[in-house]
Structure 1
Amino acid sequence: MQAPGPQFDSLSDMLQLLARRFDERPAFGHMGASISFADLDRLSRRFAAWVQHETDLQPGDRIALQLPNLMQYPVVLFGARRAGLVVVNTNPLYCCEELCQHLKDSGARALVAFAPLQAQVCQQLAGTEIEYLVTTELGDLHPLRKRWVLNLAARFKRGGAAQLLQPVPQLSGIQCMRLTQVMQKGGGLIWQPPERFGQQESLALLQYTGGTTGPAKGAMLSEKALLANLVQIRALLDHYCEPGQEKLLQPLPLYHIYSFMLTLVMLSIGSCIELVPDPRRIRTLVKCWDRFDPTVVAGINPLFIFLCQQPEFQRLDFGRLKLTISGGMALTQSVAQRWQQVTGNAICEGYGLTECSPVVSVNRPDDIHLGSVGCPLPDTEVRIIGEQDQRLPDGEIGSIFVRGPQLMQGYWHQHGETQQAFHEGWLDTGDIGLIDTQGYLRIIDRRKEVINVSGFKVYPSELEDIIACHPDILECAVIGLPDSCSGEQIKLYVVPASQQLTIKAVRDYCRERLTPYKVPRLVEFCQQLPRTSIGKVSRRALREQALGRRTL
């Protein structure tokens, strides 16, 4: 199956077409306010004009965005691309060391940051190439009166009265401005498409990998790759979505490639997208859901768990919900079943990775194969490769290789890593899986996280899926630890859903359902599991924690 040809040549071209077609319809919303497609087109032009006339930034220069889910994010994103800048997504929750590492590695010359992070950010700019710092506050794109209320309330909340009149920072050699000032200046300037603008081969996004099994690397994603993946996904979703009528509730952070691409896809069909800055505030999220009444929602396994636990959520009307999409981590069978019981809507699980812009495969809403991540997208090829570099037949487990137009150009300034990742045009995903006899892709685990017990391979995701079905277990995670006798031993972390649960009960449950060598030797109860920026359980952090205890 082939995807239809692209309807636009660039993200800027896409936005212009959307602004003409959907005009004053809301594109993005936040806390009761919204900006229309026409607003998004106009404001992003202002930002691009400011870049061109008020800075010496040139096409190809990097601009880092450190923003939560606010309406400012898409404005700056499209504005930066219209000026030919390469966007570097950074997590607002990064510690100082992580932020500094990404700024230095990317060579970013500009940074747009959330104002509450101002003090932390300013401490890290020394030694980087940042020359322009733009800060924005919570309500900057809300109507004037509400903007003042939101911003004053946010300042007071984070720092008391001393924060109410916090000045713009003054840093040696760095031009610092508020985003509202940038928009005001840009309004009197004219944006001109830069030379070579619209050339899809040019780098558009420098997206750092999650670093769940090693140091984060900057995946170089061209506009061509991003648009290719957008068109591939549209080839499927257009059968289920009505242009201009859909409403996407987006609680996942836009700086993550999964939510970034889904947001672009839904925007491209004229959807209204409600941005949720902090999905950890579950009750606030439930109220937002009730008010917004979405037709499409994106999530990950833990988010579905937490929502289904809320009595207020269980009482909502899900009559308009068409699509629930899961990605970023494995969806457990128990969670998928619980979600369908509560909402009446099945979860469409997909698979992707940063290096693929990111989507590789997805279940169709009317043809969901639970336990699989669906069939590959149009124009996408998937192969399963064995330990001797041979192609494996359907049904056999091996390494997953992908080929398609959505692949990255390589890793930023890491030629050796790029060479290791690519094999004659095929990307080694680092994941293990199989293609079943019906052509559906099934993900087993990350290759680096497979546990070797006395020569037998144990896949953590398989154990987690089985163990999570215990009615008194909310969540669990499995890791491997070094063992002098068996090579590795299995350790299980459990978040209990009931105070009555015991370690003995967990072990008995495992012995009844697992081969003896797969039964965890170590079991530890905990209140919560460490997570990555998108909410995925970090096995790496658990392993480092366990190994650290051994050395004490």
Structure 2
Amino acid sequence: MPTKSSYPDVEIPDKDIWGFLFERKDRPYPDDKVIYVDPYTDRSYTYAQVKNTAVDFGKGLKALWDWQKGDVLALFTPNCIDTPSITWGAHWAGGIVSPANPGYTAEELAFQLKDSGAKALVTQLPVIATARKAAAMVGIPEDRIILIGDERDPSLKFKHFTSIRNTSGATRYRRTKANPEEDLAFLVYSSGTTGHPKGVMLCHRNIVANTLMVAAGEGGNMSWKDGPDGNGDSILAFLPFFHIYGGGF
């Protein structure tokens, strides 16, 4: 059984999530390394595509919705390959992400939306009816409900997230940096088995530390370029992205 001395001391850098993931100098793999693959559609994201998509979305939040530091973006969606880009795009813009269980009723979702102070809601077409009803209950306008995933709204009422971008180009938006120890990255809600769900406040440093802890625990057992096909080892993301697993993955 491993002893305490078996694990290395881990230094937690004084960086927010974006800086930790996308501004680091010690990344061994190239920009075109595929890091996400959808098993149903084979749609994929490279490291560079995730970063660029997130930046475009973050700029769109600032340009179209006057996004401010500390604004909350709620996610009401089953697992989706677009979740990382949406999440980190909100962080690029200084936002807080609050993922909700896609099995919620409209009333349950409305509670989280109101309690978190969500400014907008990200969802998918199969659960749009519940999302729409919950948003109406707390006063989130329908133009602040956007879709991710491969399906588009045939009525064109709800925009796809790829339409949330700074199209004019007249204003150059910069990343909003966060204080790692004080600014929240996620507002995740408990199951509410003993009462109403309660928001758990996770700062940027919490997530950075957790990510480094997982890396230390792996102990170098995984490689980005080895394996039977030379494309590196893979992790099956079966855990729910509507919980904090999606943020720390």
Alignment TM class, shorter chain as reference:
0.7 to 0.9
Selected match of 2:146 from 135, 140, 144: 135
Q: Deviations over 1:62-93 (max 9, x none)?
A: 11011222121111000000101110001222
Q: Show the counterpart of 1:179.
A: 161
Distance 1:186 1:66, change over 3 A: farther
Which secondary structure state, in structure 2, belongs to the residue aligned with residue 185 of structure 1?
coil
Note if 1:32 corresponds to 2:36: no
Q: Show the counterpart of 2:81.
A: 71
Q: Percent identity?
A: 27
Note if 1:53 corresponds to 2:63: yes
Note if 1:3 corresponds to 2:13: no
How far apart, CA to CA, are the structure 2 residues paired with 1:73 and 1:216?
23
Q: Show the counterpart of 2:211.
A: 230
Note if 1:166 corresponds to 2:137: no
Which secondary structure state, in structure 1, belongs to the residue aligned with residue 222 of structure 2?
coil
1:27 touches 1:36 (CA, 8 Å); kept in 2?
Answer: yes
Q: Deviations over 1:33-78 (max 9, x none)?
A: 2010000010000011011112122110111011222121111000
Which secondary structure state, in structure 1, belongs to the residue aligned with residue 149 of structure 2?
coil
1:118 touches 1:135 (CA, 8 Å); kept in 2?
Answer: no
Note if 1:219 corresponds to 2:225: no
2:82 touches 2:148 (CA, 8 Å); kept in 1?
Answer: no
Q: Tell which structure's C-alpha radius of gyration is larger.
A: 1
Which secondary structure state, in structure 1, belongs to the residue aligned with residue 240 of structure 2?
coil
1:15 touches 1:41 (CA, 8 Å); kept in 2?
Answer: no
**Deviation at residue 122 of structure 1 after TM alignment:** 1.6
Normalising by structure 2, we get a TM-score of: 0.82
Q: Count matched residues.
A: 231
**Deviation at residue 118 of structure 1 after TM alignment:** 1.8
How far apart, CA to CA, are the structure 1 residues paired with 2:118 and 2:13?
31
How far apart, CA to CA, are the structure 1 residues paired with 2:89 and 2:82?
10
Which secondary structure state, in structure 1, belongs to the residue aligned with residue 37 of structure 2?
strand
Q: Report the AA paired with residue 216 of structure 2.
A: A
Note if 1:42 corresponds to 2:52: yes
Alignment of 1:305-344 (within 5 A): none
Distance 1:192 1:39, change over 3 A: same
Q: Show the counterpart of 1:192.
A: 174
2:123 touches 2:145 (CA, 8 Å); kept in 1?
Answer: yes
Which secondary structure state, in structure 2, belongs to the residue aligned with residue 211 of structure 1?
coil
Which is richer in strand?
1
Q: Report the AA paired with residue 184 of structure 2.
A: L
2:188 touches 2:244 (CA, 8 Å); kept in 1?
Answer: yes
Alignment of 1:278-289 (within 5 A): none
Q: Report the AA paired with residue 29 of structure 1.
A: V
**Deviation at residue 104 of structure 1 after TM alignment:** 0.9
How far apart, CA to CA, are the structure 2 residues paired with 1:112 and 1:20?
32
Alignment of 1:282-431 (within 5 A): none
Which of the pair has the greater relative contact order for Cα pairs under 8 Å at 6+ separation?
A: 2
Q: Deviations over 1:398-454 (max 9, x none)?
A: xxxxxxxxxxxxxxxxxxxxxxxxxxxxxxxxxxxxxxxxxxxxxxxxxxxxxxxxx
Distance 1:246 1:256, change over 3 A: same
Structure 2, unaligned runs of 5 or more: 226-231
Aligned-residue Cα RMSD (Å) equals 2.6
**Deviation at residue 16 of structure 1 after TM alignment:** 1.8
Note if 1:91 corresponds to 2:101: yes
Q: Show the counterpart of 1:248.
A: 235
Q: Show the counterpart of 1:112.
A: 122
